[in-house]
Amino acid sequence: MKKKIIATFSVFLVLIFVSSCNMINEVEKKAAAINKYEKVALNMIKQNRFLQAEINKLKYDIEKLKSKNQFLQIQLDKKGGRKTASIPSVSPGHDVVDFGIYKWSPSQLMTMAETEFDKKNYEKSAQFFKTFLVRYPRHGKIDDRFLFQSGIASFESGRHYDWALDSMKKLIVDHPTSKYYRGAKLWVGLIHLKIGRKDLFFDTVEEFRKKYRNTPEWKILSFRYEEIVQKFKN
What's the structural domain count of the chain?
Answer: 2
Give the span between the Cα atoms of 135 and 141, in whole angstroms. Answer: 13
The reported pLDDT for the residue numbered 11 is 47
Residue 130 lies in a domain: yes
Of 84, 108, 138, the residue at which a domain comes to its end is: 84
Q: Is residue 1 part of a domain?
A: yes
Asked whether the predicted pLDDT for residue 231 surpasses 50, the reply is yes
Residue 209 has pLDDT above 60, yes or no: yes
9 and 59, same domain (yes or no): yes
Residues 105 and 192 in one domain: yes
CA distance 78 to 92: 22
Question: Is there a single domain that holds both residue 104 and residue 80?
Answer: no
User: Does 106 lie in the same domain as 189?
Assistant: yes
Whether 25 is in a domain gets the answer yes
CB 210 within 8 A of CB 221: no
212 assigned to some structural domain = no
Beta strands in the chain, from DSSP E residues, in sequence order: none
Domain assignment present for 223:
no
pLDDT digits (tens, 9 = 90+) for 25-54: 665 665 566 666 666 666 667 666 666 656
Q: Count the neighbouring beta carbons within 10 Å of the beta carbon of residue 160.
A: 24
Distance in angstroms (rounded) separating the CA atoms of residues 213 and 225: 12
Nearest-angstrom CA–CA distance, 115 and 129: 11
Task: Name the pTM for this structure.
Answer: 0.64
Task: Give a yes or no: residue 30 inside a domain.
Answer: yes
Domain boundary among 40, 58, 84: 84
Between 223 and 4, residue with greater pLDDT: 223
Query: Span 1-8, mean pLDDT?
Result: 52
The residue ranking higher by pLDDT, 158 or 81, is 158
The secondary structure element, H or E, covering residue 142 is none
Looking at the fold, whether 130 and 73 belong to one and the same domain comes out as no
Judge if 110 and 185 occupy the same domain: yes
In a shared domain, residues 157 and 180: yes
Q: Which domain holds residue 60?
A: 1-84
The answer to whether the beta carbons of residues 154 and 171 sit under 8 Å apart is no
Say yes or no: 3 and 54 in one domain.
Answer: yes
Residue 91 lies in a domain: no
CATH number, domain of 158, equals 1.25.40.10
Percentage of the chain modeled with pLDDT above 70 = 62
- Asked whether the predicted pLDDT for residue 69 surpasses 70, the reply is no
The domain boundary residue, chosen from 60, 84, 108: 84
Q: Is residue 234 part of a domain?
A: no
